[in-house]
Every structure is written in C-alpha cells, then in structure tokens.
Structure 1
Amino acid sequence: MRYLPHTEADREAMLARIGVPAIDALFADIPADKRLDGLLDLPATRSEMEVEAALGRMAGKNTPAGSVPFFVGAGAYRHHVPASVDHLIQRSEFLTSYTPYQPEVSQGTLQYLFEFQTQVANLTGMEVANASMYDGSTGTAEAVLMAHRVTKRRKAVLSGGLHPQYRAVVETVSEMAEDAVVALPPDPTGTEAILDAIDDETSCVVVQSPSFYGELIDLAPIAEKAHAVGALLVAVFTEVVSLGAIEPPGAQGADIVVGEGQSIGNPLTFGGPYVGLFATRQKFLRQMPGRLCGETVDAEGRRGFVLTLSTREQHIRRDKATSNICTNSGLCCLAFTIHMTLLGETGLRRLAASNHASAVALADSLSEVPGVSVLNDSFFNEFTIRVPGDAAEVIDALAQNGILGGVPVSRLEHDRPDLADLIVVATTETNTDADRAAFVAGLKEVLS
C-alpha cells in the first residue's frame, strides 16, 4: 500500500499557508516543455529477471571508458585505482557508516577524516582543510560565499579559465544571495587581463589552474593584486593529480584552495559521486564551511579524535551556520585517503610525471595533423586543440570509429560560435602508445 498521509484538505491548507493557488505554481521556474506531463511510459509490472535483462540491454549501449581509446577530461579523469582501495572501502564498518552525530564514539571515521584533512592541506600548501565537500563545483561556490563573509564584500571576479559548470554553480548561488559576479570571457590561452577586473569592491577573484582549457596559470601576481585591494584569491583545480607536479596554490599566495578530488581513489562512475577538496589559511578557519576533525588525548592520555569544528546547519546554533552543506562525501574521502596513502609523496610525483609525459607526447603528435593546432604553451595532462570545422561533429565521428577524443568546448560553452572549433583533450597514465596512435590516425581520417 502506498503511504499517502495527506488529505485533500491538508494539501489545500498547506498551499494556502505558503500563498500559492496550486501545486503547479511550485514548479513555475521550470519551463513547461521540460516538465513531465503524465506518467512515464513504463510497463506497469515486470519480474525481477525481466527488469534485470531490460536494464542490462540499456547499460550495454554505454561505452565504458576503458573499452576504447579514451581522452575525455574536462573535470573528470580516468586514472588507475588500485584494487585494494575498493576492497577496503567495502568493509562494513566503512560502507555502512554515516555522519558522526555522536562523533567521539566514531573514532575510526574521525581518524581517517583527520588523515584526509592532513593530506589535502599538504597537497594544496595550506594550513587547514575541512573534511570534504560534495564536489569541486559546489565547493567553489562555498569558497565564494566564504570570501564574502571574510571581506564583508559581495562581488566575485571569475576567471575565463574557470570550468563553465563551476562558473554556473557560482552564478546560481550568487543570484539567490543577490551577490555580484563578474565572469570574464572564456580564455583558452591564459592571456586574459584579469588584474584589470580586480577593484576595491572585489571580495574574491576565482582562478583555475590548470584552467578548464589546460593552461597553467601563475597565481602569484593575481594574489598580489587581490591582496593589495583587500580581496582574497580562490584557487581552483579540477585535476588533483596536477598538484604532484606544480607549485601548490598556497605557495603562490592563494587564500582559499578548492577543487575536485575524484582523480585519486574514485573512478569515473558515469559522473559521480565525487569528492570536493577545500583548504584555507588558519586565520579564516571559523568561516570555513563543513566540518573539521581534530586530534586530542583522552582522560588517560591516549590519542583520540574529536569533531573540532562543525559550522553546519544540522548542529547546534544552526542559525549561525556558515553553510547549508549538511554532510561530507565520506566514502569518497576514504577512497581518496587510501589511494593517497598507497601513493605517498614519491608515488604521486611519479604519477604526475607520467601524466605530463603522456600529454606532451600526444600534443606533439596531434600538432602534426594537418589543420590541427595546440593552443596551450604550458599544460599538465590536458590541453586544447583547434580543428577545422565543427569540433562536436569531429568528436562524434571519432566516437563512431571507437575513439573518445575529448570534449568539444561548445558542449559546455553554448552560444559561442568562436569556440565551436575547440576540443579539450585529456590523457593520463592509463593511455598507451597504441591509444595515442589510434587517436592521431582517427583524427587524420576524420579530417581528410
């Protein structure tokens, strides 16, 4: 039996209380042509075996990342995840754990979160990190809100190299809060005049490096200009493995560092769940969203862990919360921590070097394809190429030949015909010489 407790009178009373004439009014912001009109066209009943077979046929239409030469990135990356990571996170004490509302009895959870925070702080070159966010995009929006609290200003400047989806999340959150956002035009080559956009009303400037287009950005002069006018620098990354090769954002003057941690410990999984990383300087600690685990000793002097800070809306003083982010990506954090522990500093540096070498080799080969040019002077494992004609059509043609050759910029930057010939290409340690050769040969065939 379906559980429907509300009577028609109950529903009418609730609608009257919130001041709308009908339930449809609650969905007024969703375009009418995007709403479901009636029930889904699904059979009323099927057996378990029939459902399993039908879903299996649907899943078979997908092309898994490892089944073909794969060069898709743009915020989510295919890396090798050791089998031990999945084995350990499947343990029942981890897989079934939940938010530690009585934290001191959740010593295992607090300990791995403490280790996770330590790893993130070391990677980013910052003094303190929280116990994770949902993903890089929502973490970036939270960083902007945090900067507003710190500076008492309400205007964010977004670099044209910021991931378009991250930019959209920031703009959505800022619109609801009536905050100002200055989003600079897309910047494939890292040559924008971002310093000119920073003024005395700026709360923060948000810069991604490597950028969405793959360009490495020198953050130091941007940090200097921001600090000169009392603003903060929010440094963003989507490829955390890059921190094994480039100078950490904290060493370049960043005040808040935020990004996506999916590349370490977490597979692509068709888009999620992922794990957002968030770090800042000690002096801004109490304005940081999420929760912070700390180390202490118990009454008998034994090492223990506590929930040191939890500025979230589900806890006490909820009206003073710095964020409505109500949990953290716990299992994804654990996967990150296990993989990072297995790698260690030396392993991460080797992994980063392998990624960069793969990208250099691919960029050199692609630049020799007639009509193709590589736009970036400096990059990590991702770069942008310009192709003759429509990039989306080129990518579709490659896919028909069993090669996933990257992300056309037009897929994310709509209504920008000047970007329609650009493709963001990513390559990692999982790509072989044969993969790269197939990509080059396939692109030559498509463009011939």
Structure 2
Amino acid sequence: MRNALIKRELDNGVRLLMEPVANVRSASVGVWIVVGGRDEPERLSGISHFMEHMYFKGTARRDVFELADAMNALGGHFNAFTCQETICLHARMVDEQLEAGLDLLAEIFRDSTLPEKELRRERGVILEEYKMIEDTPDDLVADLFHLALWGAHPIGRPIIGKPKTIRAIRRDDLLAFAEDNFSPDRIVIAASGALDPRVFAGWVERRFGAIAGKQSANAPEPPPNGAFLAKIREKDIEQAHFCLGGTGPSRCDETRYAVSILAGILGGGMSSRVFKEIRERRGLAYSIGSYQDSYRDSGSLCIQGATSPAHLQKTLDLCLREIKDLYRNGCREDELALAKHQMRVSILFALESMGARMTRLAEQDIYLGRFISVNEALGRIEAVSRRDVQEAAERWFKGAPAALSLVVPPGMPPLGRMTM
C-alpha cells in the first residue's frame, strides 16, 4: 500500500503535506495550528476553543452570514475542532472546488476580524455549549476524569474552559494569544484526495507564504505523572457514570501499539472483557468500554461506563479485576488475534475517508516528524505479542493508584481509594 506523500516547507516555515489519492473526486484540507488547551494561562482557559469559534464570525471581505453562504455555496463541508495541543480548520470539497475551498479556508484563517459584536454573541453560544456538556453525563464524566488524573496541570482542564474564563475573554486577549502562538513554524497545511501536488503547492504558497510572525515560545512543561484524584459531581440523574483509569503512553512511546491492543482487549467492543463480563454476563450496564488519549509527552487509558448506583461498587471492582488479570496472567491468543484484526480493519476503513487520511498525515508529522505507512503500521500491530501486551499492562497499570471520576445522583455513599 504505497502512498505518494509530499512534504514541503514554505520559506516562512509553514509546513505543507500532500497525499494525492487516485480514483476519488473529493479532497480534504486542514489548516492545523500546533497550539491548544495546554498552552493557555489559567485565567484564559478555553481561549483556543473560543478562537476556533471566532474564525467563522467574519473576515475583512465577508460578515458571518456571507461567510456561511460562501461555505454552503461550495457544496462541501467546513468545520473546526480544538484539542489540548492543536486547533484545526478543515474542509472537504469536490475536486473542481478545491482551489475555491482552499481560498476560503485561507481567508478564514488569515483575515478573520474577530468582530466585537460577534464575540459577544459567540460568548453566549459557548456558554450554551458548556451547559450542554454539563447536561450530558458521559461527556462531563470524561472531562472530570482528566481533572482527576492530571490535577491542576493545564492538560487536565476542559477544552471549553469554565464560565468564569469564558466570560472574561476579550478581543484583545484573542489577538494577543494568536500573536504569541500562531507563528508560521506552528502552522501545518495537510491535504489528501483528488489533488495535483504541483498545482496545489502553488495555491498554498500564494495564500500562506506571506504569513509572518515571531518564532513560537518554548514548549509547555510536561504534565505530572498523575495526580490520581477522585472527582465527583452530583446531578439529578438515574445512573452513576464513571471513568476509571490512569496514565498511558504518549504519541511517540514505543509501547503505543501494545497499549492500543490492550485497550481493545479490555474494552474495545462487544467481544472485550469488560463488555462481556459486566454487560453480557451480569447485566450491570448498557454502555461500557475503554478509551485512550495520547499527547506528545503523556497519555491516559481508562474504562468508561454507567450503571445503577446500587451496582457501582461491584462494577468498579469487576473493572479492576479485569485490569489486574491482564497484568498478572496476560491475554489469550484468541483475544490478541481479534484485537489485532479490529485495529487492522479500522486502519483500512479509514483509508476510504479523505478526512481521516488528512488527519493522519498531519498528526504523524506534528507528533513523529515522519509518516508511518499503512504497511509499517500493520506490521507493527502484527508484531505485538502476548508478552508485549502483558508488559504494557504491567507498566501502565500494576500497582498504580486509580484516577476516578463520577457523575452520580445525589446522596451516593463515598467510595474508597482504588489501586489498579
């Protein structure tokens, strides 16, 4: 599975990544800024996410409504997201609209005016988004888990910020944050799909080659090894929602393939251990599974689920039992084979999405500085042994204190401190 990947660096330091894909009629383009929630001062927590919203609120050429009409007129899809380490403005369009779509993305990124009137209105939108998270227990418990795991470190804060900081952010704060952090060496343009690399590179050079700015500041301090706290929020709900876990590998850690397989065996679908034991055998939960988050220098791994309050302690004990069994006794050969197959299929399915290919292209350059081919990734997955999985479980779980987050009905009795 050979990919024709092209990487160029503009004179100003902007990186350009291109992956032409044959026999498709669409392309996905992303403008990535390598800055996010962990780069924010506490008083401006949520400013990266606020900036993402404001990119769509008007440029020097168009107001918010004209901008929306221009995006819809292309017939494609424009959106954005913010993470702890990146902001991405992205679009997918048919090949004949590629230059027009890139032009619109460039206008949004370069020429946004951050109108004061729109800022005040968008503050209300973001506060409503915050309330939506507060009203969605499975989203809220995930945010609380990061606070429980990382404590006061910026990487543990919710991307959206807090109402106090959202209300405090002003236009001058947005401009200063962009000036300090959105330098050309932190900008990556990634594109996958129906594109001619030579032509596309010329378009990018004309639209992004003149961006100026000072070199970005030093990288943020690495996060702590883990605070391993318990964070509990009471809500008027029926179930007890939980996240239970600890630290995990970074994007660059050599154990990341083994840990991905470990996560699949533990909670990666209907054949996983916690799903079979807690839902299928005991009927204690409808929704339960595991997930990972990885950053440039750290990561996390947890089990997330929901159960009746009366069953919470038993459910948590069963999760811990499965974690301990994996580092004490390892996994079975059939579990390993199935988890590998699931990862392989997931990678192959993603090849049919231009958005997924674009994201993979950008994230591998940002975090690894090189592109890992599909064949290399599949080979690394296939090479993982039962011993590798057990050693990964020992490294990341054995004897470690557990971080725990709960969103529960009022009056739940306290739980004791847990060790994995």
Q: Same fold (TM over 0.5)?
A: no
TM-score (norm 2): 0.26
TM-score, with structure 1 as normaliser = 0.25
The structure with the largest helix share of the pair is: 2
Q: Could you say which structure has the higher strand fraction?
A: 2
* Structure label with greater radius of gyration: 1
